[in-house]
Structure formats: structure tokens, C-alpha cells
């Protein structure tokens, strides 16, 4: 085969569905047709694209492995047409071992394979649970060019790329399933820059896009030249297909300049991730729409706005469920949000349900004072109504608790925690306010909701309240949110010791109280709906703590066992069950 002087590579930044092998194969086939029309020699697709990423334990099923192999071989046969070769991620079984592989399809056959070497096993990743690491990867000969194929994590350390460089690699092709979290875009770029600097080779980084359970993949694929300049930057949070032209020079291969998309950053990126995660969870689960309890507070207002941005107003239904503690301001603010978003808005008073439950319990509770029990009956009546609407109209319930509430248990099991998905689960209360203000001034790309102010100013200025008793505010039970969130970020994301947080200027008793509430609420979090991950450490895939847990920081007194069990069950500092 003659050595070419030019090469066109298409990056297919696509949104697969885990387990939809046939659908993913068709998506790859359609992208290849576009690559052919653009005159490409090769199309590069993301990591494990044929089965979707991350497949978790699903990939251990022999039936899925067989389906992936059959789909891969069918795609390989397509390449007999003389069009572009395809490099696509797939699970691959060889000698009884399961690998995370990239398969080269060309000339009507599976022309080459490379296996992932460095299997991540931290944070949200559990790849050592299901895959076997491959050998160090030498380059593949693709259309006369020696191309290295380090898969995702393989570029986060130097060895795989060193092996490729030392064995004559000319271009690095990196298929990825790299999920979004704050700051990760810059981290990825820094890693890629280090590998390009070490190897002196151009690098093509192809990342998948889309939501999968709690993870969101933002795409943001790119091409770096050996001099560390960008040749191409694909957009974030949406599918895109781009073809990049490579030219052989005296110094080696170089990509010609292509389109450089501007990427969302900071709060805009967090908002876009929440919307994409919600959209894909609903659409990939095949729900026709969602229902949300609209309380008049900022959390439900932001969730309703995100839902409309994700799905369109016609697929969002909101319900106000007032009781005697619901303020006129809450009624007015909820109605204003619904009007601004153009959504169906119903009112279902809960007094008959709450009073009926209290009457049913009257014989058992006679003579006992009213307490959190009666407050929780209100939340649970609302949760039951939302689930009934969900059943009747096949709408998924969007639950609206923020990370501050999830951290300290300021939520009611089988009440306001009811739901199928939570777009703000990984946002602290102060961040919820920030993103809500952002949305009033900015409308993200592709949003289906209206531009302009959609959340009334009154929601930002009045004190947050669950409105489960007369004149209640959140700060009756919790420290101020700016203080609470600052301590929680240190306890959860940074895993700092109480003594370290106190040394930073926080009151020791307050820190110890927050830490205790954090531990006590673990059992609630285990029963919470999944939600979009945006921070370094979310509840669920990242932070996995035991429910039964008596450890406290040194110097924090443990209560006697009996008291511990009682308070752990009642979670009095966390307000309710």
C-alpha cells in the first residue's frame, strides 16, 4: 500500500443508548455515510459505542456480547464498499476474557483490535469489575498510516502513548467515554497536551455525548497538533460530526485548521449538563413527559424550567398541592412560573388526604403532641398524589431536592423524595439560586423553553420554607445555606477533617452538627432518585458510605448505643423521615 500524503478523519461525537445495540449500530452507519460524503478515509467513534457507555454489569451478559459481535461484523461488512474505515468501541471476548476494545473495520472485515490497558476503578468507574486489561498497544496500520489507539484512561498516564510512539505511531486516535464534572474539560486538555508534548504526535480526541443515568457526557471532542495548537474543537452537550484534514509534512502529520466551537463553562456548563441529563433520562426511558410538584420555591421552579428547556412545555405538567400552611406568596409565585413557562398547571388541595390520614391515626396518637409526624403526612400526601398522576398519565415524577437537603436529610422519605429523576440532586442550595438567576438572564443553546425571566424575583428574596407548619423557615432547622453549603463542600467533596474545617474559621459545634446530620441521612440517600452528577463527588456513584456507621471524627462524642439507634431512626436533627 502506498503511503498517503493526505488523510481525512471524521470525528463522530454521538449519543448512544446503553443496551440498544441495533440502534447504536444504525447511528454509526448513518455517521459513516456522512463521513463518506465528506470524503473521509476513517471515521472515529467513542469508547464502547456499540453497547453504550458505561454498560456496567450488563456487559457481562453473554447475550449482549453476542449481539455486539454480530452488529460489529455487520458494520465490518459495510466497509467492503470502499468507503471510510471505521474505528468503533466495543466489548470483545477473546480466549474467555472480556476486553474494552476499539475495533478497526475496513475492507469488509474486522481488520484490527486494540484493548484498553488502564482500566479506571475510582469515582464513578468500575471497569476492573468487568474487563481485563489489555497489553500495551502498538499502532494499527490504517490506510497506510500507523495510528495509535489509546482508549480514554490510557492517555491519563504516559506508558501507553510512550509504547505507541516508540513503535512508530504517527497519529493518536483516542476514543472516549469521559463524563462531565466541573473543571474536567480543562483537566482533559491538560492531559492531552502532556501526551502530545511527550510523543510529538497529533491527537484526535473523540468523546461521546449524552446522559446515562446519573452521568452526563458533554462531548467537547477536539484535535491537537504536535505544536499544541487546536486544529478543531467540537461543541459541548450536543451531537456533532466533523471531518478534519491531515497533511503529511517533513516533521510528520499535521491537521489543517477546522471549526473551533465555543464551550460552555462554569454555571452555564452545569445548567446544560442538568438539562441534557434530564432530557436523555426521560427520552431514553421512553416517558412521554414529566410531572412536577410546583411549590412556589426556587428548587421546584428551577426543575420546572430545566424540564421545559429539556422536553418542551407540552411535555411538562406541574401541580400545586396547597395546605393551610401554604402562603399566598407561594401560590402566586408557582402560578407565575407556570405561566412564564407555558405549562399545564393544576391545583390539588391536600387537606382531605392529610386530615383523613390524621383521622385514621387518631386512636393510636391520642394524647401525644403534634410534631414532625404531622408535617411528614403533608409531604407524603403530596408524594402520593404525584405518583398517582404519574401512574394515570404515564408521566415520570421529577423530584426537586437539592444537594444541601440530600446531605443533611432535610427531606421526607416517600414524600418530597418521591420521583424518578432529579436534575438538581448534585447542586447545593446556593448553587440552585445561582443557576436560577443565570437562567433568567441566559437561555442555553437548544433550550425549548422561553427566553427572558421565567422565575419571579420574589422567589429569590423571600426566606425558603417547606411550609409544613406556621411561619416555618428552613433556617429554623438548618444553619444558613451559605454556611451549610461551605461546610458540606469541605466534608463531602474534599473529605476534610472536622479539625481542618474549624481551623479554616468555622464554628466547631456547627461543623460537628452538620457532620452528624450528614452521616445520619445516608439511609435516605440510598432511597433517593438518581440525578445528574456535576460536582467532583456526587451521592450515589461517587460517595459510597455505609448506612450503619458509628464513626465520627476524633473528638466527637458518640452517644450511648441505645440513644444512637433512636436518634438514627428519628433523625431529629435532619428534621424528619
* DSSP, res 2: P
Contact 475, 463 (CB under 8 A): yes
pLDDT, residue 553, reads 76
Which segments of 107-239 are extended strands (E)? 109-115, 140-142, 145-148, 171-176, 203-207, 209-212, 215-218, 222-224, 230-233
Q: Which of 47, 268, 467, 496 is catalytic?
A: 47
Using CA atoms, how far residue 109 sits from 7, 34, 73, 105, 116, in Å, is 21, 20, 7, 6, 21
pLDDT for residue 564 is more than 60:
no
- pLDDT band for position 560 (50/70/90)? low
Beta-sheet strands, E only, within 35-96: 42-44, 85-94
What pLDDT digit, counting tens, does each position of 135-175 carry? Answer: 998 999 999 999 999 999 999 999 999 999 999 999 999 99
pLDDT at 347: 96
Q: Is the pLDDT of residue 302 over 60?
A: yes
For CA atoms 287, 289, 295, 301, the dihedral sign is positive
Convert the pLDDT of each residue in 214-266 to its tens digit.
Answer: 999 999 999 999 999 999 999 999 999 999 999 999 889 999 988 999 999 99
As a whole number, the mean pLDDT across the chain is 91
- Report the topology of domain 6-260: Nitrilase/N-carbamoyl-D-aminoacid amidohydrolase (3.60.110)
d(CA 551, CA 554): 9
Residues with Cβ within 8 Å of 186's Cβ and at least 6 positions away in sequence, in order, are none
Q: Which helix (H) or strand (E) holds 510?
A: helix 508-520
Dihedral sign (CA 379, 384, 387, 389): negative
Sign of the Cα torsion 40, 42, 46, 51 reads positive
DSSP letters spanning 7-23: EEEEEEE----TT-HHH
Tell me the pLDDT tens digit for each residue of 414-457.
999 999 999 999 999 999 999 999 999 999 999 999 999 999 99
Residue 349 is predicted with a pLDDT of: 95
Q: Which residues of 499-537 are buried (b: 16+ CB within 10 A; e: fewer)?
A: eebbeeebeeeebbbbbbbbbbbbbbbeebbbbbbbbbb
How many other CB atoms sit within 10 Å of the CB of residue 395?
A: 21
Determine which one of 152, 163, 274, 303 is catalytic.
Answer: 152
The C-alpha angle 243, 249, 253, rounded to 5 degrees, equals 45
Instruction: State the Cα–Cα distance between residues 285 and 77, nearest whole angstrom.
Output: 31
Q: Would you state the cell numbers that stand for residue 476, as one nine-digit string?
A: 429554623
Please indicate whether residue 116 is annotated as part of the active site: yes
**What is the structure's pLDDT at 551?**
78
Torsion of CA 194, 199, 200, 202, to 10 degrees: -80
Joined grid coordinates for residue 306:
430545566
Please report the pLDDT score of residue 467 as a whole number: 59
Contact partners, residue 183, CB within 8 Å, separation at least 6: 536
Report the pLDDT value the prediction gives residue 557, as an integer from 0 to 100. 43
- Class in CATH terms, 268-574: alpha beta
Predicted confidence at residue 150, as pLDDT, reads 96
Count of C-beta atoms within a 10 Å radius of residue 483: 17
Residues sharing a CB contact under 8 Å with residue 533, sequence separation 6 or more, in sequence order = 124, 179, 180, 181, 214, 215, 216, 426, 540, 541, 542
CB-CB neighbours of 87 under 10 Å: 28
R_g over Cα of the chain? 26
Domain boundaries, the chain: 6-260, 268-574
The DSSP result for 544-561, as a single string, is ---SS-----TT-PPPPH
3-class SS at 59?
helix
The pTM of this model reads: 0.92
Q: Are 330 and 295 in contact (CB under 8 A)?
A: yes
Residues 36-72 pLDDT 10s: 999 999 999 999 999 999 999 999 999 999 999 999 9
Selecting among 116, 425, 429, 524, the annotated active-site residue is: 116
Handedness of CA 573, 302, 292, 216 (dihedral sign): negative
Report the Cα–Cα distance between both ends of the chain, in Å, rounded. Answer: 70
Residue 566 has pLDDT above 70, yes or no: no
Whether residue 264 contacts residue 31, with contact meaning beta carbons closer than 8 Å, is answered with no
Q: What is d(CA 572, CA 577) in angstroms, rounded to the nearest whole number?
A: 9
* Angle between the N-to-C axes of helices 159-166 and 184-199, in degrees from 0 to 180, rounded to the nearest 10: 30
pLDDT of residue 569: 33
Task: Assess whether 47 carries a catalytic annotation.
Answer: yes
Residue 160 CB coordination number (10 Å): 26
Tell which residue, 373, 559, 576, has the closest CA to residue 478: 576
> Has residue 25 got a pLDDT over 90?
yes
Helices 266-284, 429-441: crossing angle, 10 deg rounding: 90
Task: Decide: helix, strand or coil at residue 93.
Answer: strand
Q: What percent of the chain has pLDDT over 90?
A: 82
Please state, for a pLDDT cut of 70, what percent of the chain lies above it. 94
What is the separation of C-alpha 339 from the centre of its chain, rounded to a whole number of angstroms? 29
Question: What local confidence, expressed as pLDDT, does residue 331 receive?
Answer: 93
pLDDT of residue 1: 57
- Name the nearest CA neighbour of 422 among 444, 403, 450: 403
Distance (Å, whole) CA 572 – CA 511: 17
The number of beta carbons lying within 10 Å of the beta carbon of residue 126 is 16
pLDDT in tens, 329-387: 989 999 999 999 999 999 999 999 999 999 999 999 898 998 888 889 999 999 999 99
**What does each C-alpha distance from 509 to 332, 479, 557 come to in angstroms?**
39, 11, 12
Residue 217 and residue 22 in contact, taking contact as beta carbons nearer than 8 Å? no
In the beta sheet, which residues pair with residue 93? 98
Q: Residue 249 is placed in which grid cell? A: 509534512
Residue 122 banded pLDDT, cuts 50, 70, 90 = confident
Amino acid at each position: 500500500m502506498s503511503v498517503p500524503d493526505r488523510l481525512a478523519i471524521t470525528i463522530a461525537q454521538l449519543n448512544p443508548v446503553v443496551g440498544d445495540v441495533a440502534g447504536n449500530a444504525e447511528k454509526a452507519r448513518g455517521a459513516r455515510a456522512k463521513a463518506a460524503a465528506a470524503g473521509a478515509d476513517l471515521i472515529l467513534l467513542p469508547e464502547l459505542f456499540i453497547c453504550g457507555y458505561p454498560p456496567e454489569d450488563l456487559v457481562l451478559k453473554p447475550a449482549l456480547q453476542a449481539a455486539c459481535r454480530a452488529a460489529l461484523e455487520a458494520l465490518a461488512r459495510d466497509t467492503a464498499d470502499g468507503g471510510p474505515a471505521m474505528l468503533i468501541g466495543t466489548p470483545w471476548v477473546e480466549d474467555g476474557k472480556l476486553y474494552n476494545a476499539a475495533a478497526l473495520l475496513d475492507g469488509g472485515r474486522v481488520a484490527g483490535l486494540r484493548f484498553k490497558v488502564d482500566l479506571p476503578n475510582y469515582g464513578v468507574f468500575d471497569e476492573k469489575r468487568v474487563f481485563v486489561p489489555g497489553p500495551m498497544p502498538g499502532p494499527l496500520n490504517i490506510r497506510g498510516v500507523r495510528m495509535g489507539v489509546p482508549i480514554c484512561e490510557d492517555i491519563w498516564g504516559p506508558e501507553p502513548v510512550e509504547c505507541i510512539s516508540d513503535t512508530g505511531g504517527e497519529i493518536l486516535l483516542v476514543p472516549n467515554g469521559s463524563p462531565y464534572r466541573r473543571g474536567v474539560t480543562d483537566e482533559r486538555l491538560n492531559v492531552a497536551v502532556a501526551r502530545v508534548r511527550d510523543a510529538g504526535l497529533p491527537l484526535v480526541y473523540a468523546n461521546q455525548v449524552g446522559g446515562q443515568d446519573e452521568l452526563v457526557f458533554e462531548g467537547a471532542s477536539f484535535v491537537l497538533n504536535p505544536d499544541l495548537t487546536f486544529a478543531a474543537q467540537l461543541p459541548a452537550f450536543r451531537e456533532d460530526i466533523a471531518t478534519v484534514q491531515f497533511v503529511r509534512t517533513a516533521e510528520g502529520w499535521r491537521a489543517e485548521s477546522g471549526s473551533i466551537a465555543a464551550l460552555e463553562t462554569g454555571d452555564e456548563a452545569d445548567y446544560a449538563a442538568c438539562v441534557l441529563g434530564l432530557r436523555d433520562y426521560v427520552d431514553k426511558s421512553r416517558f412521554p413527559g414529566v410531572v412536577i410538584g410546583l411549590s412556589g420555591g426556587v428548587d421546584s421552579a428551577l426543575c420546572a424550567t430545566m424540564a421545559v428547556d429539556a422536553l418542551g412545555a407540552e411535555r411538562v405538567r406541574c401541580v400545586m398541592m396547597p395546605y393551610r400552611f401554604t402562603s399566598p406568596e407561594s401560590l402566586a409565585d408557582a402560578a407565575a412560573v407556570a405561566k412564564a413557562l407555558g405549562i399545564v398547571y393544576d391545583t390539588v388541595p391536600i387537606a382531605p388526604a392529610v386530615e383523613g390520614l390524621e383521622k385514621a391515626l387518631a386512636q393510636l396518637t391520642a394524647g401525644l403532641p403534634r410534631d414532625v409526624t404531622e408535617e411528614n403526612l403533608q409531604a407524603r400526601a403530596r408524594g402520593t398524589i404525584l405518583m398517582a398522576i404519574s401512574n394515570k398519565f404515564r408521566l415520570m415524577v421529577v423530584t426537586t431536592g437539592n444537594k444541601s437537603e440530600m446531605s443533611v436529610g432535610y427531606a421526607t422519605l416517600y414524600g418530597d423524595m418521591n420521583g424518578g429523576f432529579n436534575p438538581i440532586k448534585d447542586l447545593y442550595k446556593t448553587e440552585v439560586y445561582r443557576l436560577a438567576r443565570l437562567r433568567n438572564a441566559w437561555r442555553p443553546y437548544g433550550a425549548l423553553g422561553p427566553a427572558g425571566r421565567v422565575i419571579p424575583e420574589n422567589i429569590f428574596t423571600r426566606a425558603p420554607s417547606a411550609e409544613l407548619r406556621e411561619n416555618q423557615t428552613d433556617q429554623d432547622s438548618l444553619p444558613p445555606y451559605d454556611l451549610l453549603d461551605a461546610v458540606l463542600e469541605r466534608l463531602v467533596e474534599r473529605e476534610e477533617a472536622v479539625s481542618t474545617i474549624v481551623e479554616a474559621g468555622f464554628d466547631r459545634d456547627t461543623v460537628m452538627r452538620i457532620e452528624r446530620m450528614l452521616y445520619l441521612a445516608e439511609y435516605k440517600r440510598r432511597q433517593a432518585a438518581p440525578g445528574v452528577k456535576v460536582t467532583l463527588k456526587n451521592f450515589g456513584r461517587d460517595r459510597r458510605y455505609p448506612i450503619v456507621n458509628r464513626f465520627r471524627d476524633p473528638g466527637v462524642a458518640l452517644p450511648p448505643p441505645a440513644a444512637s439507634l433512636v436518634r438514627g431512626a428519628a433523625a431529629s436533627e435532619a428534621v424528619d423521615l
